[in-house]
Structure 1
C-alpha cells in the first residue's frame, strides 16, 4: 500500500487487487448484497483505494481496516440509494373542480367557525388568533402578553373546547 501511495506502483496495486477483491466481494455478500452488486462495489472500492491512496496513513489503520472501512461505507451508500423512494408521477393539467356540495358545505362550516370564534370571550379569541392564525407558539404568546404560560395553555384549551362544541 505504501508503494501504491508513494510511487503509484501499478504492480503493487494489481497484487493488492488480486488479494482483496474476492474478500471484499465476500464481505459485501455476507452483508446482504447480491453477487453482481458485490462485485461492482468491490471494484468501486478498489478504484477508490487507487484514487485516494494518498490518504492512507499506516499509523491510523492497517491496510485491511482501511479497505474494509471504505467497503462498509460504500455498502451503506448502496443501501441508502436502494431505499430511496421513486418520485411519484405528477399529475398534469388543471385539478378537477370540487363538487359544488363540498364547496357549499365548506362555506357553511367556515361561517359557523367565524360565528363560534366571535362568540368566544375576547381573551380566548385573542389567544386563538395568535396561536392558530399568526402561528405563534404558546411561549411566544406568553412573552408578548406577559401572561403565565399555564394561563395561556388553559385559555387556549377552554377556547378549543368551546369551538369544538359550537361546531357539532
Structure 2
C-alpha cells in the first residue's frame, strides 16, 4: 500500500497548535481529531491512504493495549490485524457524534479480545470491562514499552535452554505439550526449564510493577 504524507502527521509537532480562536489545542486532542478525519475518509471515500495512516498510527498502540491485558505478542498481532480489517469493513457504522474514532476502534479491540478470552475459558481482565470512552494515554503506552524492554533484557540474560522455552511459551504462544512435540524434549523437562526461567525472571524484575 502506497503511503502519503498522512503517514507521519504528528512528526515534529511537540507543542500545542493555536486554534482559530487563538487558544491552544492540546496535542492529544489534535491527534484525536486527525484520527476522526482519517476514519471519515475511510467511511465516505474508502480512502486507502487514510486507512494506511490510521493503521500506522494505531496498530502499535492497539498491540500494546492488547498485550497489556494478558495476550501474547503473536496473538496480539493477529487481533490487531483483525481489528483493523473490521474497521475497514465497518467504517460505515462510525458516527463521530456518538464516539471518538479512537474510542470506537478500541471498543472493537476490546470486544475481539474478550471473545477470544471467553473461547479459551479464561477470566476476563478487569481492565477490559472499564469505560471505553478513552484510549490508553501516552504515559501508559510509554510505560508498556519500557516494561517490554526490561522484560526482553531479562530474558536475554537467561540460560539458553531456559530462554528458548520461555520464548516459545510466552512469545510464541505455544503450550507445554506443543513445545515438547516441537523440540522432542520430555514434557517434564520443558516444564522444569520454564519454571526455572520464570523464577529467575521474577528475581530480575522485582522492581517492575
The structure carrying a bigger helix percent of its residues is 1
The structure whose Rg is larger is 1
Normalization by structure 1: what TM-score? 0.49
